[in-house]
Structure 1
Amino acid sequence: MGALYRVSRDGTGRRGGGEGWKGLTGTIEPDIILLDEKGFIVHVYDLKFPCPETNSARWETYAEGRWRDELQGDVYEEILGVKPRLVSPRDGIVPIKEE
């Protein structure tokens, strides 16, 4: 497992800056973060709903901003310190590919 980071309580409730989904563009905000009893991140999940059905769940590449041209999953891992997992209705929890 990677490094552990404590999640700050003051960061909640400010998502999107009042702009709805548009306010999340370019952020590193996974859909589900599971913490242990001490508040450290132990699992990170991102939900994907690929269309059409022939597409598989995959990490997107940031098109602009601080993480331009980097894969979303790589950025999550670097910043949150744990390997994130993709979750989709068709594939369930996608296995981590060893490099």
Structure 2
Amino acid sequence: VESGLLKDYHQEQIITSGTIVDWQMGSVTHFNMGEDKNVGVSKALNIPIDQLSNRTNAVYGDDPKGNDVGILSLSSKAFVIANPKNSEVPIPVNMIRTSWEDILENYF
């Protein structure tokens, strides 16, 4: 919001999830990678994992063949954020390779 990329309205609609660490035990209780990203989103939203696709308008990731393959499969509106690492990686037809600036300008 401070940089002008998001409006307050959009910020309030963003939910994030990530790796969960038990710092006292020094262990990871949830690793936010690959298909586990969908598990994390399911837990964060308190929605059964098999219902995530029905409740997802769009998904975003920058690793379409690796860590983000699960999350990018949740929506027909899947955005792959372009970067040097993924610029040559073929993506499925349901995915759009783009930038955050393009997404904010054309899809909101």
What's the TM-score once normalised by structure 2's chain length? Answer: 0.28
More helix by share: 2
Structure number with higher relative contact order (C-alpha < 8 Å, ≥ 6 residues apart): 1
> Which of these two proteins has the greater Rg computed from alpha carbons?
2
